[in-house]
Amino acid sequence: MTTRNPDQQPSSRVFKYPYYPLSSALRLAAAVKDLGGGRTPVKKSLLAKHLGTAENVAAFAQGLTSAKAFGVIDGHGDYSLTEISKRYYFPTTETDKSLALLDAFSAPPAFAELLKRFDGDKLPTRDILGNILHRELGIPDSWKERVAGLFASAAQDVGVIDGQGFLRYDAARHTSGPASATSPQDELASMGTAQKERPRTVVVGKVHWQYKSIEVLTPEDLDRALWQKLEGYVKLLEPPK
């Protein structure tokens, strides 16, 4: 049986899902960056030469489509970095890179639908994910298992699967976002029962602090302002004299 070429799908489905992993899309975006794609568009022929391939190779075309599906490059014939890639490769805040990575993960429409359905819940098996992708999201039967695997692998890579297999995308975005304006006392109180039974969220580039049921995630390069807020948490844990 001949496997259907995904590039022969109707144009409305071209960017619904990637054909290669997020890591491959980022490598391709890095090549665009190296060739100056953050400033001016890069010719397809020049990009292919830089990557050591021919521009008419199917794998190269699928790689370009995957990078577009993840929202890290844009263009047709000439390619540029997107805003997501610029935040990832040229961050201007401490959270730019981690949030850009999360944005790239959720960019493919098929991935966004799975996140909408399962975020906060335990991720089903890849067989179940594949069937959902095929029956409800229109992914070809010949590609459903691969796309399910790409979703699960990308979720692991960006750190939104916790130790018990629960999908924690929104939690990761919240953890990677700017610090809240509320006081340490108010923040600690708000953790309460909401955090009590929640499995640990794993976030790349963060340091995990835990005392009993209290968990705090901080950037590896902790700045003074955030340290002062963390110090407020620690003082609340001081036992009575």
Query: What tens digit of pLDDT does each residue of 102-144 get?
Result: 999 999 999 999 999 999 999 999 999 999 999 999 999 999 9
- State the virtual CA torsion across 211, 217, 221, 225 in degrees, nearest 10: -90
Q: Give dist(CA 108, CA 147) in Å, integer.
A: 11
- Percent share of the chain, pLDDT over 70: 66
pLDDT band at 220 (very low <50, low <70, confident <90, very high): low
Please count the residues of the chain.
241
Please tell me what DSSP assigns to residue 173: H
pTM: 0.68
Q: Give dist(CA 154, CA 65) in Å, integer.
A: 17
Please tell me what DSSP assigns to residue 168: -
Residue 29 tokens, joined: 């975006």
pLDDT in tens, 72-98: 999 999 999 999 999 999 999 999 999
Q: Which residue has the higher pLDDT, 224 or 92?
A: 92
* Dihedrals phi, psi of 210, to nearest 5 degrees: -140, 135
Q: Give dist(CA 5, CA 81) in Å, integer.
A: 27
pLDDT at 175: 80
Q: Which residue has the higher pLDDT, 87 or 226?
A: 87
Q: Write down the domain spans for the chain.
A: 10-157, 179-236
Q: Give dist(CA 40, CA 240) in Å, integer.
A: 62
Q: How high does pLDDT run on average in the chain?
A: 80
Q: Give dist(CA 20, CA 62) in Å, integer.
A: 8
Q: Give dist(CA 98, CA 94) in Å, integer.
A: 8
